[in-house]
Structure 1
Amino acid sequence: MGGFVEGAPCWADVMLPDVAAGKRFYGELFGWMFGDGPYSRAYREGLAVAALAGKRDGRMPTVWTVYFAAPDIVALTGRVRSSGGQVVSGPLPVRDGTMALAADPEGAVFGLWQGPQGTGFGVQQEPMSFCWTELYSRDKSVVDPFYSAVFRFGVTDLGPDGGDELRVWSPAGTRPGPDSAVGGRILIEDSFPPEMPSHFLVYFRVPDCDLAAATVTRLGGRVHMAPTDTPYGRIAVFSDNQGADFAVLQDYEVEGSAEAAAESDAEATQEFDVLAATDAADASEAANAANAANAANAVRGSGAGGAARRFGTADAVLEVGRPGAVN
């Protein structure tokens, strides 16, 4: 399917009230160029990196959604249901393939995509492109078996002292570990606000995290976690000028910087506002959003962002020390 193994992130899009405003924001922040239409693909040096989708219904969320590769989307949606998740919409044939939206047992929304070679990300892991995704979850006993059953991930625990506070996922058939990881799960602990739901956060690689933060602020977005050093790079969490949350990662350029950051930041914490992006636990609201998403998808011929409810801002504390991206 498009050259991506099952369970690998293969696409990301964002639902926005104003696509033109989104093009101005992300065009200046990441240097992206855009196609036309209500589902506008973004390009870096001519290669597809993401898409901006116009909201057709005010009930639909303003949110980034990550899509995982599904060589057999019918089988995968079946595993979602049998493992305790919900298929929010689809599988739906669209212009380039077949898509679906699903929610895990805690309500975190993600996409599934089955398409031919050449669809999905044209580039990733490069500056100004997708590089990582994390699931924020409250109950590992619920979500860990779900993702293992649906995608058959191999897992590696990278929390303190090898604990499972942070778990990274490797596609089936690969040797589990940081070198093969394509995403991960981090626990929402007591330091986070109680109203924060389970959700996915999408990361983009940047050459300068601090410059990205300054640009986001200048363009009318918000910085929820200021640029912070971790053992894996310098990261920050933002929302765009319409409220969609995302994160950025800057790699360390000097050998030894990661080790120095790991030592200096082992106990560090950073206060920031959290705009939780997804909550499909409310079945009636999810169904309403799914109906709107299906109608919008049929019109524009491609995937939609997650069916979810946006919460207001809340203060939280994030423990520093998680991988932003693993090559």
Structure 2
Amino acid sequence: MTTHTEPWPAGTPCWVDLMASDLGRTQDFYRDVLGWDFSESQPEYGGYCNALLGDRPVAGLSPTMEGMEDAPHVWTVYLATEDIAAHAARAAGAGATPVYEPMQVEPFGWMGMWADPTGAAFGLWQAGEHTGFTAFGEPGAVVWCDLMTADPARARQFYAAVFGYDYQDIGDEGMPYALFTVPGGQRPAGGFGGPDPESPDAPPAWSVVFQVSDVDAAAQRVREAGGSIHREPFDFEFGRMTVAAGPDREVFVLMTPAEDM
């Protein structure tokens, strides 16, 4: 069990959330698939609630905002910052386009959202009382986040300029992929890759990977709960994984890491 209660280092994926067309249905789905409980939906914050493992936040859910009914439902990945104004300025200087300018969510922190130069949306989160996910790298929690884009070189340049990422290439010519580490980090914080040979026309996007103890059993739970499997479970160097979609067709990955990770 991994519990992290302090603010995450700048540039580290620290939170994920999703807007749902039917909040109750989506809660039921992830409760069945990942074993989540939920905090009370808060009307003063647009109906937002935290998904919980025990009492530890792992993700956020909210009803779809008014005026965004036709927007695609996607998991949003937030990168940590200790100074959202400074990182927003760096992002703009490096070619990002603002989606939502920074705003305070009292007393929890500050948030904003941008599109990077490849077109992938990402959020920034400056912690207040809410430091991001406190459970990480265990069944039911986020274990990995990465960016898949047709222009990974441009993405690498952008995020290095904003956050000072270092990279370690582990892919090949057919599937470029690099791990990134934040300044002072002791382990990779995520990855950049693409384009995916099986989805060459997929739009650039950050994606979230949730850990499970048994990928095949989790894939079956997805189907039984009303979701779908986009890619059947398969083995790779770092474990076993499957690509799934939830009630609003939001895509996510389920993974059982290799025992030696």
* Structure in which a larger fraction of residues adopt strand: 2
- Are 2:190 and 1:183 equivalent residues in the alignment? yes
Distance in 1 of aligned mates of 2:132 and 2:86: 20
Q: Matched residue pairs, number?
A: 249
TM-score norm. by structure 1 comes to: 0.72
- 1:50 matched residue in structure 2: 59
Render the CA deviation track for 1:232-264: whole Å, top value 9, x for unaligned: 0101110002211100110234x6xxxxxxxxx
Give 2:246's aligned amino acid.
D
Contact residue 175 and residue 195 of structure 2 kept, 8 A: no
What's the CA shift for 1:174? 3.2
What's the CA shift for 1:117? 5.8
Distance in 1 of aligned mates of 2:133 and 2:196: 33
Work out the percentage of aligned pairs sharing the same amino acid: 33
Structure 2, unmatched stretches of 5+, are 42-46
Structure 1, unmatched stretches of 5+, are 256-326
Distance in 2 of aligned mates of 1:189 and 1:124: 26
Matches within 5 A, 1:197-236: 197-236=203-242
Distance in 2 of aligned mates of 1:33 and 1:192: 33
- Are 2:155 and 1:143 equivalent residues in the alignment? yes
Matches within 5 A, 1:166-181: 166-174=177-185, 180-181=187-188
What's the CA shift for 1:144? 1.5
Query: Highest Rg: 1 or 2?
Result: 1
- Are 2:88 and 1:81 equivalent residues in the alignment? no
Aligned with 1:160: secondary structure?
Answer: coil
Higher mean C-alpha displacement, 184-193 vs 33-42: 184-193
- Are 2:7 and 1:30 equivalent residues in the alignment? no
Distance in 1 of aligned mates of 2:197 and 2:240: 24
Contact residue 2 and residue 117 of structure 1 kept, 8 A: no
Contact residue 59 and residue 133 of structure 2 kept, 8 A: yes
Distance in 2 of aligned mates of 1:118 and 1:111: 15
Distance in 1 of aligned mates of 2:243 and 2:197: 20
- Are 2:66 and 1:59 equivalent residues in the alignment? no
Instruction: Give the root-mean-square deviation of aligned CA atoms.
Output: 1.9
Distance in 2 of aligned mates of 1:216 and 1:189: 23
- 1:94 matched residue in structure 2: 105
Contact residue 237 and residue 248 of structure 1 kept, 8 A: yes
TM-score norm. by structure 2 comes to: 0.90
